[in-house]
Amino acid sequence: MDFLCPSSALAEGSSRVFDIDGMSLLGVRRHGKVYLYRNRCPHRGIALNWQEHTVLDASASLIQCAHHGALFLIESGECVAGPCEGETLQALGCEENARGIWLTA
C-alpha cells in the first residue's frame, strides 16, 4: 500500500491531489468517506485541477475539471455534464486506518 496523507489532511468536503510514482491522483472526502480517482479528465487526458489541490466545484458537491468544466459525481466518478458526459474517472482503491489514507490498488 502507498501512503497518501494523514486523515487530517483531507477534511470533509475537500479535495487533495497526490503524486504517486509519477501518476497524479485525486482524493475527495464526502460524508466521511474517501474517494480516490486518477487525476485525468476523460475529455483530454489531462489533470483536472488548476490550483494545487482544488478539483471540486463551488458547492463542493461535484468534481469539476478546470479546463472545460466537466462535472463528475464524487461517489462514482461518472461525468454528468460537459464534453465527456457518460464517461468516468478511473477509480482507485483506497483505505483509511489509524495511520492515515492509503492507495491499495
Residues that bind ligand FES (CB under 6 A): 41, 43-44, 46, 65, 67-68, 70, 82-83
**Could you give the angle at the alpha carbon of 64 between the alpha carbons of 60 and 69, nearest 5°?**
135
Q: Closer to ligand FES at the Cβ: 39 or 101?
A: 39
Give CA 9 to chain center in angstroms: 14
Torsion of CA 12, 13, 17, 21, to 10 degrees: 50
CB of 12 to ligand FES, least distance (A): 25
Q: Closer to ligand FES at the Cβ: 7 or 88?
A: 88
